């Protein structure tokens, strides 16, 4: 049922895509449903250009027939559609389980509108249940870990195949298991102030709308 709801939410968000748009494609299992259905519309004649937030998304989009442009050649994007790890009724979100939060944050900042899609398990009265990922310059690893411990962030270096996981930029990913996030904005500021942290997964102002599916019923929330 959860996978069905991911797909239903993706289909609802697809209605925001219009011909001629530049569309930012998110990363993760829910965003993958959006890519699949967007590709079907492209094959039916919808003309759009896409930018991808990860190499995996770019590969999937190209394979499905979506034209993907280089984001570095663009100053703005019309619409970004992505999943979330957790989101609350103020449309504050935690993202980054897929390790692409830095690119996602950059594309979100460049987008005129950011829409997110999720099943109901991602909905929360206040964000803080999920770990907050941060992207860390390898050179600063131990310094950053010590700084995060001083914030009671409960940092854990993300591993993959018994080796430190790397972002598409070749940086490390650290998951911060805060006991609570009573003031997400203050936490975001504290993370951003640590030299060596290149980005974090707190999306507090970027999301403009959310499509949340529960048992096949989609509810839209607007900022």
Cite the active site residues: 104
* Rounded Cα–Cα distance for residues 88 and 41 (Å): 30
**Which residue from 131, 82, 106 is spatially nearest to 199, judged by alpha carbons?**
106
DSSP labels, the chain? -HHHHHHHHHHHHHTT--TT-EEEE--SHHHHHHHHHHHHHHHTT---EEEESSHHHHHHHHHHT--B--GGG-S-BSEEEEE-SEEETT--EE--TTS-HHHHHHHHHHBS-EEEEEEGGGEESSS-SS-EEEEE-GGGHHHHHHHHHHTT--EEE-EETTEE-B-TTS-EEEEE--S--S-HHHHHHHHHTSTTEEEESEESS---EEEEEETTEEEEEE-
Q: Considering only CA atoms, which of 223, 192, 29 is closest in space to residue 117?
A: 29
């Amino acid at each position: 049922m959860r996978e069905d709801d991911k797909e239903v939410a993706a289909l609802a968000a697809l209605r925001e895509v219009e011909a001629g748009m530049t569309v930012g494609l998110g990363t993760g299992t829910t965003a993958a449903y959006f890519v699949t259905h967007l590709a079907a519309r492209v094959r039916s004649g919808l003309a759009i250009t896409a930018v991808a937030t990860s190499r995996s998304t770019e590969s999937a989009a190209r394979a499905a027939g979506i034209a993907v442009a280089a984001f570095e050649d663009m100053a703005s994007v019309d619409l970004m559609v992505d999943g979330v790890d957790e989101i609350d009724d103020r449309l504050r979100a935690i993202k980054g389980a897929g390790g692409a939060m830095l690119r996602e944050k950059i594309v979100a900042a460049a987008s005129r509108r950011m829409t997110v899609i999720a099943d109901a398990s991602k909905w929360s009265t206040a964000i803080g249940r999920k770990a907050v990922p941060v992207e860390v310059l390898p050179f600063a690893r131990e310094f950053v870990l010590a700084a995060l411990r001083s914030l009671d962030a409960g940092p854990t270096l993300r591993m993959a195949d018994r080796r430190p996981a790397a972002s598409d930029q070749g940086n490390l990913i650290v998951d911060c298991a805060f006991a609570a996030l009573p003031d997400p904005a203050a936490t975001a500021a504290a993370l951003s102030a640590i030299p060596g942290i290149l980005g974090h997964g707190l999306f507090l102002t970027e999301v403009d709308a959310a499509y949340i599916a529960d048992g096949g019923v989609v509810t839209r929330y607007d900022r």
